[in-house]
Amino acid sequence: MSINKDFPLLKNERLLKAARGEKVDKLPVWIMRQAGRYLPEFREYRKQHDFFEICNNPEYACEVTLMPIRRYELDAAIIFSDILVIPQALGLDVEMRPGVGPVLPEPLTLETLSNLNTKGTVKKLEYVGQAINLTRHKLEGNVPLFGFTGAPWTLMGYMIEGGGSKTYSKAKKWLYAHPQKSHELLEILTQVIIDYLVMQIEYGAQIVQVFDSNAEYLNKNLYSIFCLPYLKKISLEVRKKLREKKLEEVPMVLFAKGGWYCLEEQAELGYEVLGVDWTVEPKYVRNILKNKNITIQGNLDPCALYSSKSDLNSQVEKMLNEFGSDRYIVNLGHGIYPDAPIDSLKTVVDVVHSFEV
Ligand SMILES: Cc1c2[nH]c(c1CCC(=O)O)Cc1[nH]c(c(CCC(=O)O)c1C)Cc1[nH]c(c(CCC(=O)O)c1C)Cc1[nH]c(c(C)c1CCC(=O)O)C2
């Protein structure tokens, strides 16, 4: 499959500028899970197509990626896919069950670790690259396009638990009882993630985000042993491989949800942008990261979208004032919920774009 690299000129560089620490005309805003079930047009589309059918088909994935861009003046698109396509490509079955979420009927065990298909894994994910390539063209340069991946620990969690979990105690058991096997798995995932991100960038992703959604179940000690080294390897190796392939570097975002306990350490991993959730105060974040040349992304509580319009207005304004307009990308502190009122998102975007930088 060839890659069409004759890309349209990017007309809105706000988000990439903020990521690189350059001056912006207005604050950039995008929303995690912006292409999702809160959109009536997405729910309609899902009646016709299975979740992974959309992920697998570049034209479907492109169509769904564009839905929020048509409706709102967002400053970035994020390719429609899922973090669990990596476990799938490694040979695990993943089902998306309505009302339940992702289910892996046969979770990974110590015994099946050696059965993972580690050869040609990224080749199997090329359909994501094709979706990115098509979408980058269809966006006509209106906004930049995010690629993304799950972080090693977050993927490990889903693979061992067989889906989401309240405690991630089965996956954490590996960390305490089987540290060697844990490192073996994390290393396998890290290698796939590096090549997966490089592939996405080669196909046209203009910025990439690493989702470590399960950071909140660990602590500084565990995160230092089982996450930080792999996250650093990812940023360093991706950049090295881009240079070797003579591809342009793109900004990298790390979103370690609930990972405030090691924010300072995250700043040393080589990511331009760090995402933070709503449980951490803007002033705390700015203080820890001052003089670190890091852009902050976040952190409105997704539930704030249930507020009245005037309350939502003041909450967003308060957040913008507290973070300040230097090196800041506006987002929620986690993905938008399926029952979020669709007008609330317009309110957020309007407040952000009328904020004087
Ligand atoms: C942990 C995680 C997953 N997937 C993802 C993460 C990291 C972000 C996070 O922490 O929320 C990432 C993801 N998943 C999806 C995107 C698409 C792009 C976007 O709009 O942001 C992205 C960036 C689509 C999706 N991924 C999923 C949906 C909803 C499923 C459906 O349409 O039936 C969408 C639109 C399903 C999914 N996929 C996953 C879960 C836990 C669920 C169930 C929760 C839910 O139902 O909302 C795994």
| Pocket residues: Cβ below 6 A from ligand 1 | 32-37, 46, 51, 78, 80, 82-84, 96, 98, 101-102, 148, 164, 211, 213, 335
Q: Spell out the residues 6+ positions from residue 196 whose beta carbon is closer than 8 angstroms to its own.
A: 86, 121, 122, 125, 128, 149
Over residues 16-42, the mean pLDDT reads 98
Spacing of C-alpha 263 from chain mean position: 17
Whether pTM > 0.90 for this model: the answer is yes
Q: Tell me the pLDDT band of 295, cut-offs 50, 70 and 90.
A: very high
**Strand 95-97 with 101-103, pairing:** antiparallel
d(CA 225, CA 175): 9
Task: Give yes or no: 20 in active site.
Answer: no
Whether residue 289 is predicted with pLDDT greater than 70 in this model: the reply is yes
pLDDT at 231: 99
Distance 37 CA to ligand 1 centre (A): 10
Residues 164, 102 contacting (CB under 8 angstroms): yes
Whether residue 107 is predicted with pLDDT greater than 90 in this model: the reply is yes
Question: So what's the ipTM on this one?
Answer: 0.91
Task: Give yes or no: 158 in active site.
Answer: yes
Distance 297 CA to ligand 1 centre (A): 19
Domains of the chain: 14-354 (3.20.20.210)
pLDDT at 167: 98
The burial of 98, by beta-carbon neighbours within 10 Å (0-12 exposed, 13-18 middle, 19 or more buried), is given as: exposed
Nearest to 155, CA basis, from 242, 200, 94: 94
Task: Return mean pLDDT, the chain.
Answer: 98
Distance 131 CA to ligand 1 centre (A): 17
pLDDT at 357: 96
115 DSSP assignment: G
Type of residue found at 2: S
Which tens digit of pLDDT belongs to each residue from 239-264? Answer: 999 999 999 999 999 999 999 999 99
Q: Which atom of ligand 1 is nearest to the CA of 163?
A: 41
d(CA 59, CA 55): 9
pLDDT at 1: 63
Q: Given ligand 1 and candidates 82, 95, 146, 217, which is best to mutate, with the most ligand atoms within 8 Å of its CB?
A: 82
Over residues 154-173, the mean pLDDT reads 98
Which tens digit of pLDDT belongs to each residue from 202-222? Answer: 999 999 999 999 999 999 999
Over residues 270-296, the mean pLDDT reads 97
pLDDT at 98: 87
Over residues 306-331, the mean pLDDT reads 98
Over residues 254-280, the mean pLDDT reads 98
Spacing of C-alpha 249 from chain mean position: 18
29 DSSP assignment: B
Q: Tell me the pLDDT band of 99, cut-offs 50, 70 and 90.
A: confident
277 DSSP assignment: -
Over residues 341-351, the mean pLDDT reads 98
